[in-house]
Amino acid sequence: MNLCVVGTLAYDSIETPFGRADDALGGSASYIATAASYFVQPVGIVGVVGGDFAPEALEFLRSKGVDTTGVEIKPDGKTFRWAGRYHFDLNNRDTLDTQLNVLAEFDPVIPDPMRDARFVCLGNIDPSLQLKVLDQMRKPEFIVCDTMNFWIEGTPEKLREVLTRVDCLIINDSEARLLTGEANLVKSARMIMEMGPHILIIKKGEHGALLFLGDDIFSAPAYPLESIFDPTGAGDTFAGGFIGYLARAGEVNAETLRRAVINGSAMASFCVERFSLDALKDLTHAQIGERLTAFRRLSHYEFEEVPLGDTAS
Amino acid sequence: MNLCVVGTLAYDSIETPFGRADDALGGSASYIATAASYFVQPVGIVGVVGGDFAPEALEFLRSKGVDTTGVEIKPDGKTFRWAGRYHFDLNNRDTLDTQLNVLAEFDPVIPDPMRDARFVCLGNIDPSLQLKVLDQMRKPEFIVCDTMNFWIEGTPEKLREVLTRVDCLIINDSEARLLTGEANLVKSARMIMEMGPHILIIKKGEHGALLFLGDDIFSAPAYPLESIFDPTGAGDTFAGGFIGYLARAGEVNAETLRRAVINGSAMASFCVERFSLDALKDLTHAQIGERLTAFRRLSHYEFEEVPLGDTAS
């Protein structure tokens, strides 16, 4: 197996200015694996759910080429639940309720075939669990990790340990500033890369994303959407498209990383157009191709070698 | 004369976390004309100053190829002055003092040769004055206009009249939202273009700029600067590089507009590296060329026609 994804499987209850969804399939691993499945199959997924988790949800994941043998089902437990409400501008949200349930005692066990995965994606989850996963991988070539403010503030030592063991961290701009205490993103990025990851992606929501690789910086635009329906899972979907693209490409270099960021951004632009995972359920490769063409148009211009005609002055 | 710039000439007193400058040369017309002069010469400039305006400042502008015959000198008056203090993150500033002085009774008179300019840049100034300028132009082919929240809130009718008469508006994201009452930038852009300009540029500071031309959208990155010394004049410098590039290119189309935005962004990236106009005083075309190459690297990636190998599914 080429790609192994670890994270949460959840039921989300979401309110946006445009409507609400109750007990919708969510969780970092669900979004990441589904997005990645458009690039590479099978995608191994590791997580935990309760007896209340609908068999149809696992069946859906399998229909996308996701190997769910790493999903532990605790018949007597309840699935992790999150409830949130987005503000009018969709840039901020309030968490209304968090029920860890089976996640509270999750002890991830990676099925044997998945331990050979070359690409590993650690979705947003307790850094201690991310470490337990890494301990089980035999020969990972590229490890990408997501996190959030809750772990940056709550378990900083464990998170720092994770950072020494991953190749790439994906966080958003406010999390980067929180992690380093530095407002300038370029300085903040350098500080984070000194903590371990040699590749860093800083997501900026409607302003796109920055990719740092050594001194090289790539600025990816966000797709200008006239209506964003539900931002939930956009970051996880980005991560899924990103790692999925790399796993498909089979090699990680300055060029594949740039294209991976664009592919992740394209997948995320679909995600926010509908509630929950709905927009990711039946995408076609042709639709993704069209969106990638639109992304190309968004940032492309013809470069002039000597725009001012006089480089000597 | 190919390009005529109208706006303020000012003395700025600026405090940033990194230092302060008193009575430094500023004003929208100064920044715009200086930036544009790297692309096209002569640049006609129209404005007003008092008897306190140093002859050396006008001499500086002339040394850059700026035609200052349109700068009215009121010997008994005082030059427009602005004082401001930037917050620690440089994204916000407080205006400490504004002295309109000679600007209060400015009645712009365009020297006869400048009335034939094909390209006109209306810097940030009272919309009533922008209209008086337009009335004097004989055959403008491309008119770009800047404004600010002060005029959006203070003289909305006059501003709306200006918008019906210009080809391109340049504003920042918060001003776009203020002008339309719409938080979504894509929707807001459409509403603004229905007010008149068929081209719109929305500046987003450290997040770059968006160019709207009909349904076509171009997303330009901002140069990731590790230290921003003084943001004053960055927007004007952007406008100067933008209009200067177009005036040099001689034609306005989807491709030249995109490159003009990049060239404006490159000039603005120099501006903020030093106080006042200092960074724009002795740039070389080679330096600008290097910055444009860095911009290219910032957003470029190799596009794959069929990334997923299967467009039929």
What is the distance between the alpha carbons of residues B143 and B129, in angstroms, rounded to a whole number? 14
The whole-number average pLDDT for the span B190-201 is 98
pLDDT (0 to 100) of residue B8: 97
- Which residues on chain A are in Cβ contact (under 8 Å) with B299? 218-221, 299
Mean pLDDT, chain B, whole residue set = 94
pLDDT digits (tens, 9 = 90+) for A50-66: 999 999 999 999 999 99
pLDDT (0 to 100) of residue B17: 83
Q: Residue B16 forms beta bridges with which residues? A: B19
β-pairing, A10-16 with A80-86? Answer: parallel
The whole-number average pLDDT for the span A75-80 is 97
B215 touches A: beta carbon within 8 Å: no
| Order of strands across the sheet that contains A3-6 | A66-74, A43-50, A3-6, A119-122, A142-146, A168-172, A199-203, A209-213, A216-220
In this predicted structure, the answer to whether residue B150 has a pLDDT above a threshold of 70 is yes
Distance from the Cα of A213 to chain B's closest Cα (Å) equals 12
pLDDT digits (tens, 9 = 90+) for B177-190: 999 999 889 999 99
What is the distance between the alpha carbons of residues A239 and B311, in angstroms, rounded to a whole number? 22
- Name the amino acid, one letter, at B255: E
pLDDT (0 to 100) of residue B185: 93
pLDDT (0 to 100) of residue A311: 39
> Lowest-pLDDT range, B92-101, B110-119, B238-247?
B92-101
In three-state secondary structure terms, A40 is coil
pLDDT (0 to 100) of residue B25: 96
Nearest residue on chain A to B173, alpha-carbon basis: A207
pLDDT (0 to 100) of residue B313: 41
Exposed, middle or buried: residue B277 (CB in 10 Å: 0-12, 13-18, 19+)?
buried
Cα–chain-centroid distance for residue A246? 13
Distance from the Cα of A91 to chain B's closest Cα (Å) equals 11
What is the distance between the alpha carbons of residues B169 and B198, in angstroms, rounded to a whole number? 9
Q: CB distance A219–B221 less than 8 Å?
A: yes
Q: CB distance A297–B259 less than 8 Å?
A: no
Nearest to B288 among A38, A228, A308 (CB): A308
In this predicted structure, the answer to whether residue A170 has a pLDDT above a threshold of 60 is yes
The whole-number average pLDDT for the span B17-37 is 94
Kindly indicate the confidence band of residue A312, based on its pLDDT and cuts at 50, 70 and 90. very low
- Which residues on chain A are in Cβ contact (under 8 Å) with B210? 224
In this predicted structure, the answer to whether residue A291 has a pLDDT above a threshold of 70 is yes
Kindly indicate the confidence band of residue A17, based on its pLDDT and cuts at 50, 70 and 90. confident
B60 touches A: beta carbon within 8 Å: no
pLDDT (0 to 100) of residue B268: 96
The whole-number average pLDDT for the span B221-234 is 89
What is the distance between the alpha carbons of residues B145 and B165, in angstroms, rounded to a whole number? 10
Residue B40 contacts residue B1 (beta carbons within 8 Å): no
Residue pointed to by tokens 């991988």:
A137
Q: CB distance A219–B262 less than 8 Å?
A: no
pLDDT digits (tens, 9 = 90+) for A99-140: 999 999 999 999 999 999 999 999 999 999 999 999 999 999
In this predicted structure, the answer to whether residue A313 has a pLDDT above a threshold of 60 is no
Smallest CA-to-CA distance from B3 within B115, B132, B167 is with B115
Exposed, middle or buried: residue B300 (CB in 10 Å: 0-12, 13-18, 19+)?
middle
Q: Which long-range contacts (CB under 8 A, 24 or more apart) does B309-313 make?
A: B309/A285, B310/A285, B311/A285, B311/A286, B311/A289, B312/A285, B312/A286, B313/A284, B313/A285, B313/A286
The whole-number average pLDDT for the span B149-178 is 96
In this predicted structure, the answer to whether residue B312 has a pLDDT above a threshold of 50 is no
pLDDT (0 to 100) of residue B307: 62
Q: CB distance B285–A219 less than 8 Å?
A: no
Please list, in sequence order, all residues whose beta carbon lies within 8 angstroms of the beta carbon of residue A206, skipping any fewer than 6 positions away: A91, A222, A224, B185
Rg, Å, chain B Cα set: 19
In three-state secondary structure terms, A235 is helix
User: By percentage, how much of chain A surpasses pLDDT 70?
Assistant: 97
What is the distance between the alpha carbons of residues B224 and B262, in angstroms, rounded to a whole number? 14
Please list, in sequence order, all residues whose beta carbon lies within 8 angstroms of the beta carbon of residue B117, skipping any fewer than 6 positions away: B1, B2, B3, B4, B44, B137, B140
Q: Which regions of A207-287 does DSSP assign to beta strands (E)?
A: 209-213, 216-220
A270 touches B: beta carbon within 8 Å: no
Kindly indicate the confidence band of residue B305, based on its pLDDT and cuts at 50, 70 and 90. low
- Which residues on chain A are in Cβ contact (under 8 Å) with B41? none
Indicate the Cα dihedral angle B120, B122, B123, B129, nearest 10°.
Answer: 140
What is the distance between the alpha carbons of residues B167 and A83, in angstroms, rounded to a whole number? 47
- Name the amino acid, one letter, at A174: S
pLDDT (0 to 100) of residue B230: 87
Three-state SS sequence of A48-108: EEECCCCHHHHHHHHHCCEEEEEEEEECCCCCEEEEEEECCCCCCEEEEEEECHHHHHCCC
- Which residues on chain B are in Cβ contact (under 8 Å) with A265? none
The whole-number average pLDDT for the span B247-256 is 96
The whole-number average pLDDT for the span A191-199 is 98
Q: Residue A74 forms beta bridges with which residues? A: A50
DSSP calls for chain B: --EEEE---EEEEEEETTEEEEEEEE-HHHHHHHHHTTTSS-EEEEEEEETTS-HHHHHHHHHTTEEEEEEEEETTS--EEEEEEE-TTSS-EEEEEEE-GGGGG------GGGGG-SEEEE-SS-HHHHHHHHHH-SS-SEEEEE--HHHHHH-HHHHHHHHTT-SEEEEEHHHHHHHH--SSHHHHHHHHHHTS-SEEEEE-GGG-EEEEETTEEEEEPPP--S-----TTHHHHHHHHHHHHHHHH---SHHHHHHHHHHHHHHHHHHTTSSTTGGGSS--HHHHHHHHHHHHHHH--PPPSSTTS-S--
Nearest to A207 among B207, B258, B289 (CB): B207
Mean pLDDT, chain A, whole residue set = 94
User: ipTM of this model?
Assistant: 0.91
Q: How many CB atoms lie within 10 A of CB A231?
A: 19
A219 touches B: beta carbon within 8 Å: yes
In this predicted structure, the answer to whether residue B311 has a pLDDT above a threshold of 50 is no
Kindly indicate the confidence band of residue B282, based on its pLDDT and cuts at 50, 70 and 90. very high
